[in-house]
């Protein structure tokens, strides 16, 4: 059995062994091996030139990575927590994302920004944000998030080899998830979603930490006669419209699940894309189950905030299987 944390560690180690230009740096990634131990042992094995601690300054870390990438290296930097990556946002939005386009292809930045994200681990304030929408909204970035141990390895290897900058979002909640994998291997390239469970009645679309919740929901829903399909996006950017569209056109119903606040989030984008492409196949509105539009709550309250199996099951009731209209929006006269 191997954990997602170990798979990520193996991906970094294997990439460093294969390519001497790969360097890993950030806060506490050296002797400590990172606060989540994702870089554990890399300094000991590959030396202080290959995996090193930096001053505590996220904008500096990302900007330094931009310079090193211009100088021929392939930096993989760690932001310690989702909300602690915000000081680097200007570097990411104004330089990491735009440099290839600004220089008309002459300067590419093959670098990876690893960000542990999301809640569900009892973290205190500023340690549980789902910040993927900020990055996904920024053209020039690829935004990737694994939901399985195998994908953690495969997607991180892809990210490090990718000629474009990748924001690699690691669901903290799944760091200790385990899988029995004989050999970690690279599987699919970026841009291919995975159908984690085939089904015919409705499609649940999820990514990262919400994928196991969606799968659990699908199992529970069989009791109520639902045969649900579950799609794991794997890469938010590039987005796999083909897999999503094919599934929803077949099932005719769709629920998007995500931890982030729903308003103007990735889930909103997915819902919009689905209705644009599947309108004539839809038997019900595309629904979302997301975090509430509140600052991430204190750890003792987070279970009320995160999309749960029960909340997703309740949402299935609004998919108009019995042709009954959704009563949720009565104030607006119903979902007419």
Partner 1 sequence: MTGLAQALLPSAEPVRFLTDEGAVAKGRHRHPVPDPGLLRRAYRAMVVGRRFDAQATALTKQGRLAVYPSSHGQEACQVGSVLVLSEGDWFFPTYRESVALVTRGIDPVEVLSLLRGDAHCGYDPVRHHVAPQCTPLATQSVHAAGLAYAERRVGTGRVALVCVGDGATSEGDFHEALNFAAVFKAPVVFLVQNNHYAISVPLERQTAAPSLAYKGIGYGVPSERVDGNDPVAVLAVLTSAVEHARSGQGPYLVEAHTYRLESHTNADDASRYRTDDEAEKWRRRDPIARLARYLRRRGHLTDADTAAWSAEAEELAADLRARMNADPELAPLGMFDHVYSAPTPQLTEQREVLRVELSAERAADEAEEALT
Active-site residue list: 127
Run of H or E residues at 92: none
298 φ/ψ sector (left φ>0, alpha ψ -120 to 50, else beta):
beta
Tokens read off for 6: 């170990």
- Per-residue interface string for the shown chain with partner 1, residues 136-165, x marking contact by CB under 8 A: ---xx-x-------------------xxx-
- Region of 9-17, 232-240, 281-289, 324-332 interacting with partner 1 (CB under 8 A): 232-240
Q: How many CA atoms lie within 13 A of 237 on its CB side?
A: 21
**Nearest Cα residue to 268 out of 246, 240, 288:** 288
Q: Least CB distance from residue 65 to partner 1, whole Å?
A: 6
Helices (DSSP H) in the chain: which residue ranges? 4-18, 42-46, 58-70, 89-90, 99-102, 132-136, 149-161, 210-221, 241-251, 266-278, 302-305, 309-316
Q: In the complex, what is the shortest distance from the CB of residue 59 to partner 1, in angstroms, rounded to a whole number? A: 6
C-alpha closest to that of 111 among 59, 151, 60, 168: 168
Q: How far is the CB of 289 from partner 1 (least distance, A)?
A: 25
Of 150, 295, 162, residue with least CA distance to 237 = 162
User: Is 255 within 8 Å of 205 (Cβ atoms)?
Assistant: yes
| Residue 269 in the binding site for partner 1 (CB under 8 A) | no
Contact flag: residue 107 with partner 1 (CB under 8 A): yes
Closer CB to partner 1, 166 or 257, in the complex:
166
Q: C-beta of 4: minimal distance to partner 1 in Å? A: 27
Specify the residue, 65 or 169, whose C-beta has the smaller distance to partner 1.
65
Pick out residues in 50-89 that bind partner 1 (CB under 8 A).
54-55, 57, 59-60, 62-73, 87
Nearer to partner 1, 163 or 334 (CB): 163
Nearer to partner 1, 8 or 62 (CB): 62
Q: At what angle do helices 210-221 and 309-316 cross, to 10 degrees?
A: 50
Decide whether 152 or 237 has the Cβ nearer to partner 1.
237
- Sorted by sequence, the CB contacts under 8 Å of residue 302 that are 6+ apart come out as 119, 120, 122, 128, 296
Least CB distance to partner 1 at residue 241 (A)? 7
Contact residues toward partner 1 (CB under 8 A) are 49, 54-55, 57, 59-60, 62-73, 87, 90-91, 94-95, 98-108, 139-140, 142, 162-164, 191, 237-239, 241-242
């Amino acid at each position: 059995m191997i954990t997602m944390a170990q798979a990520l560690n193996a991906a970094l180690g294997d990439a460093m062994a294969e390519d001497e230009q790969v360097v890993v740096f950030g806060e506490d990634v050296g002797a400590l091996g990172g606060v989540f131990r994702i870089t554990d042992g890399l300094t000991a094995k590959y030396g202080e030139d290959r995996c090193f601690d930096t001053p505590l300054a996220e904008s500096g870390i990302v900007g330094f990575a931009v310079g090193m990438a211009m100088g021929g290296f392939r930096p993989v930097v760690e932001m310690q927590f989702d909300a602690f990556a915000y000081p680097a946002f200007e570097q990411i939005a104004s330089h990491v994302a735009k440099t290839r386009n600004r220089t008309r292809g002459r300067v590419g930045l093959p670098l990876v920004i690893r960000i542990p994200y999301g809640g569900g681990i009892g973290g205190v304030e500023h340690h549980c944000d789902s910040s993927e929408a900020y990055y996904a909204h920024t053209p020039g970035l690829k935004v990737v998030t694994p939901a399985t141990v195998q994908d953690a390895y495969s997607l991180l290897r892809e990210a490090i080899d990718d000629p474009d900058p990748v924001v690699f979002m690691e669901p903290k909640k799944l760091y200790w998830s385990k899988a029995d994998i004989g050999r970690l291997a690279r599987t699919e390239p970026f841009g291919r979603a995975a159908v984690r469970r085939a089904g015919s009645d409705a499609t649940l679309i999820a990514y990262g930490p919400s994928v196991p919740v969606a799968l659990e929901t699908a199992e529970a829903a069989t009791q109520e006669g639902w045969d649900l399909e579950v799609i794991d996006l794997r890469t938010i950017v590039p987005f796999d419209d083909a897999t999503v569209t094919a599934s929803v056109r077949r099932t005719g119903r769709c629920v998007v699940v995500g931890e982030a606040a729903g308003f103007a989030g990735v889930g909103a984008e997915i819902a919009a894309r689905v209705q644009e492409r599947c309108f004539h196949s839809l038997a019900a509105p595309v629904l979302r189950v997301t975090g509430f539009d509140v600052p991430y709550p204190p750890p003792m309250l987070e279970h009320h905030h995160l999309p749960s199996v029960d909340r997703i099951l309740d949402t299935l009731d609004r998919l108009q299987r019995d042709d009954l209209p959704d009563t949720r929006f009565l104030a607006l006269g119903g979902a007419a």
